[in-house]
């Protein structure tokens, strides 16, 4: 359906848990949270109601979605829902080796893996976990299982891993993998993080051999990333610039948090609790339509941390 500003909302980002084994320095919100995760059957009902509102694409995220041992069951229930044409997942990759085959068999067609460095020590420093090898194994397993749409998402932080840009870019040279750089979004209220942001244009200036790729995509498939490639590369390099380029006028998304709250906009803290009406299909569809209509025209991250929770809760 179309929201109050004429945007067609077709893409649901569904956080299935707040739990995550990593403590990424820019992500983890330290606030205590009480686990109250939606069950697989509740998720199915919510997705069915969203499909009735015109949602065609679902992304499973978190927290870390692979912390849910029933993730393949959740994926299967969603991919079998009438109206859902595409199911994708975002993961840190740590447990991907174990789940890749099951996810593929349950209808997940594309996987985004978050990876900010290829250096073991740096990985440990950025995430609090000595598990870079598990992530690389997971990527390989996903390729072997025939998940053909693999993308690496990287956040560069000045002075921490910005010197890794080229190594990460080169992952797209010999493999059909897209590597995408996401601008660091605010994660503390000290104002400190502004100095740490590496903007997309800064990376492009450093690598002038990257040339833009023309894309023609449907609304549901529309990506917030701008893609580039280079001679001899099999994959592409993408830039997601939430700080330097606002893409609110093109937003086609709505979010569900792991406890059943609807979040109409990533950059605003408005949440709508639908947990107690999940079993009433008609009421649920009505509430979801209202939530879609309440999407704000746009947002600004310039408010800093106020109103902005760590993406571990919201699902990035
Ligand atoms: N656990 C999964 C993962 O690691 O991909 C899914 C959740 S994670 C919150 C999703 C994405 O959000 C990751 O790619 C992460 O790098 C990104 N992210 C988290 N905090 C961010 C921030 N402050 N700025 C930019 N990206 C952020």
Ligand 1 mean position, distance from CA 231 (Å): 30
Q: Beta strands 11-15 and 57-61: pairing type?
A: parallel
**3-state secondary structure at position 305:** coil
User: What is the whole-number distance in angstroms between the Cα of residue 226 and the centre of ligand 1?
Assistant: 18
Determine the distance separating the centroid of ligand 1 and the alpha carbon of 63, expressed in angstroms: 9
According to DSSP, the β-strands at 226-229 and 211-212 are: antiparallel
Atom of ligand 1 nearest to the CA of 186: 23
33, exposed or middle or buried, with CB in 10 Å at 0-12, 13-18, 19+? middle
**pLDDT score, position 39:** 97
- Would you say the pTM of this structure is higher than 0.85? yes
Find out whether the beta carbon of 47 lies less than 6 Å from any atom of ligand 1: no
Whole-number pLDDT of residue 316: 63
Binding site membership of 27 for ligand 1 (Cβ less than 6 Å): yes
- Ligand 1 pocket check for 168: Cβ under 6 Å: no
Residue-level pLDDT at 315? 65
Instruction: Check pocket membership of 90 for ligand 1, CB cut-off 6 A.
Output: yes
pLDDT at 110: 97
CA-proximal residue: ligand 1, atom 11 (nearest): 316
Query: Given this model, what pLDDT does residue 304 score?
Result: 45
> Are β-strands 86-91 and 57-61 bridged in parallel, bridged antiparallel, or unpaired?
parallel
Q: Cα(235) to centroid of ligand 1, in Å?
A: 21
Residue 311 confidence (pLDDT): 65
Atom of ligand 1 nearest to the CA of 116: 16
Q: What pLDDT is attached to residue 83?
A: 98
Among protein residues, the one whose CA lies closest to atom 1 of ligand 1 = 64
Report how far residue 160's alpha carbon sits from residue 158's, in angstroms, rounded to the nearest whole number: 6
Instruction: Determine how β-strand 177-182 pairs with β-strand 149-155.
Output: parallel
Low-confidence ranges of the chain (pLDDT < 50): 302-308
For ligand 1, mutation pick of 27, 160, 258 (most atoms within 8 Å of CB): 27
Q: Which atom of ligand 1 is nearest to the CA of 153?
A: 14
Q: Is 12 in the pocket of ligand 1 (CB under 6 A)?
A: no
Tell me what pLDDT residue 194 has: 85
The 10s digit of each residue's pLDDT in 100-149 is 999 999 999 999 999 999 999 999 999 999 999 999 999 999 999 999 89
Show contacts of 4-8: CB within 8 Å, 24+ apart. Answer: 4/293, 4/294, 4/295, 5/249, 5/295, 5/297, 7/249, 7/250, 7/251, 7/252, 7/295, 8/54, 8/219, 8/252
| Residues written for the chain | 316
């Amino acid at each position: 359906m179309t929201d109050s500003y004429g945007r067609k909302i077709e893409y649901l980002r569904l956080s299935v848990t707040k739990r995550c084994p990593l403590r990424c320095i820019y992500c983890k919100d330290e606030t205590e949270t009480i686990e109250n995760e939606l069950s697989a059957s509740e998720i199915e009902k919510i997705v069915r109601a969203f499909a009735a509102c015109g949602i065609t694409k679902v992304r499973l995220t978190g927290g870390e979605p692979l912390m849910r041992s029933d993730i393949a069951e959740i994926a299967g229930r969603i991919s079998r829902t009438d109206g859902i044409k595409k199911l994708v997942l975002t993961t840190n990759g740590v447990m991907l080796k174990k789940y890749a085959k099951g996810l593929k068999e349950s209808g997940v067609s594309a996987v985004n893996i978050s990876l900010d460095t290829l250096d073991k020590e740096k990985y440990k420093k950025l995430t609090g976990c000595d598990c870079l090898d598990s992530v690389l194994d997971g990527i390989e397993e996903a390729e072997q299982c025939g998940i053909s749409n693999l993308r690496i998402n990287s956040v560069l932080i000045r002075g921490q891993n910005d010197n890794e840009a080229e190594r990460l870019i080169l992952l797209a040279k010999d493999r059909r993998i897209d590597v995408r750089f996401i601008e660091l979004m605010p994660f503390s209220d000290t104002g400190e993080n502004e100095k740490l942001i590496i903007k997309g244009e800064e990376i492009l200036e450093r690598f002038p051999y990257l040339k833009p790729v023309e894309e023609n995509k449907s609304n549901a498939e529309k990506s917030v990333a701008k893609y580039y490639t280079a001679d001899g590369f099999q994959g592409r390099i993408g830039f997601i610039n939430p700080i330097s380029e606002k893409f609110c006028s093109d937003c086609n998304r709505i979010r569900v948090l792991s406890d059943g709250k609807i979040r109409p906009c990533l950059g605003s803290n408005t949440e709508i609790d639908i947990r107690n009406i999940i079993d009433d299909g008609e009421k649920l569809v009505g509430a979801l339509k209202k939530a879609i209509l309440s999407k704000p025209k746009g947002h600004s991250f310039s408010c800093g941390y106020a109103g902005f929770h760590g993406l571990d809760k919201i699902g990035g």
